Homo-oligomer: A and B are copies of this chain.
Amino acid sequence: SIDGQRLWDSLMAMAEIGPTENGGSCRLALTPEDAAGRRLLLDWCEALGCTWQVDRVGNLFIRRAGKRDDLAPVAMGSHLDTQPKGGRFDGILGVLAGLEVLRTLADRDIVTERPLVLVVWTNEEGSRFAPAMVASGTYAGAFSVESTLAREDRDGVTFGEALEACGYAGESPVGEPRLDSFFELHIEQGPVLEEEGETIGVVTGVQGMRWFDVTLAGQSAHAGPTPMRYRRDALAAAARLIDRLQAHALADESGDTKVTCGCLEVVSASRNVVPGDVKLTIDLRHVVENELDALQAYFEGLLSEVGETCGVTVTQERIWASPVVEFAPECVAAVERGAREQGLKYRRMMSGAGHDAVYVSRVAPTAMIFVPCRDGISHNEAEYATPEDCAAGTQVLCDAILERANR
């Protein structure tokens, strides 16, 4: 079985690269910190006799030979980049758990039938280069290599330039190596496992998500002399929209409907001015694709209704849509067997967040394993998962990988 203390030590060592004030990490994609994190991982893996290759968008494939090197490798991994004030676990756990699997096999001189690959996907967070999961998306053919290399950060630096600068512009074609299957361990990033007292989430798929930009254009006016009934208040309209959408989602007793207004800006705001222009973003999610269609239809109807009621012109643009993903039953089953055989409390669940596994699942049988994180908090320096839960998740990963690689 895996060594939980060694896993924890490697997590804490990685967190020292780009440490933040409040105990988190800042390793934005393709920065010197990202490169230093990769280098540390490679040092550890080279010590185990692994070889590695980097593709043209910086995805890193670390290989441990198997008995049948002509077969496609069984893969595990996640990402090492973080949010600007990120935590020590989101992504990193999935990579260092893979390292711990490799070390465990090395300790025991176990050679699997199929080769193993530990993958570090570039720029999962999307904080530096939008969108999220862009390099696993490129690997899976969802984005072209050229478009990915041309994406710019806020300072106008392209993905390609940053990749060269940090030393991870590889030469191997994007899409290689082809994988037999892929397993990603991740913190849940939500509160369910913790609240329910369970250690493992057997992730059966990922809910669908759609992102919208909404603008509301009314008429700015003086707050004092403008009677309520003459107003075309863009913020009052936005409030009505958000409130009705919330009520709609809360009314779904299954809990599967999720709506979020994350950003809202009042243009030229002033305390005694009725807001004329508001911009906001909407994130709609559901685990069933046609329910997501229905949710979008409800949302669009609400936009019209609110626009009319409030005398405000409402426009929207759908800027991203990620369909519902169902992971491969044989991979999910391998994870579930691992959890059951370890005697861990687990639940089958859909992932609420997008992960590299979303895109990888388009080209290889894929599954994910979740472990609880404290208060469901992530994308935050306070992000925390216990050493015991990290070890349990890694053991399940190890078991699934072994089963799959020796089948």
User: Which A residues have a C-beta under 8 Å from some C-beta of B?
Assistant: 188-192, 195, 207, 209, 211, 219-230, 233, 235-236, 238-243, 246, 249-250, 252, 255, 257-266, 269-275, 281, 283, 285, 351-354, 375-380
Contact = CB atoms under 8 A, between A and B. Distances in A.
Contacts of A275: 261-262
Number of this chain's copies in the assembly equals 2
Contacts of A273: 260, 262, 379
Nearest to A266: B264
Nearest to A268: B85
Contacts of A209: 224
Contacts of A207: 224
A354 B191 CA distance: 50
Given A264-B264, A266-B264, A269-B264, A258 B220 contact: no
Give the one of A191, A195, A239, A285 with max B CB within 10 A.
Answer: A239
A258 B228 contact: yes
Given A220-B380, A221-B377, A191 B226 contact: yes
Q: Which 3 A-B pairs have the closest CB atoms?
A: A190-B225, A225-B352, A224-B352
A171 B235 CA distance: 46
Nearest to A260: B223
Contact of A352 (B190, B226, B242, B380): B226
A369 to B, nearest CB: 14
Nearest to A310: B246
Given A190-B222, A224-B354, A230 B195 contact: yes
A230 B190 CA distance: 9
A269 B258 contact: no
Nearest to A206: B224
A345 to B, nearest CB: 18
A195 B260 CA distance: 40
A345 B250 CA distance: 53
15 contacts: A191-B227, A209-B224, A223-B260, A225-B353, A227-B255, A228-B257, A228-B258, A229-B250, A230-B376, A233-B260, A239-B241, A239-B246, A239-B261, A260-B274, A261-B275
A271 to B, nearest CB: 5
B266 A271 contact: no
Nearest to A270: B262
B351 A258 contact: no
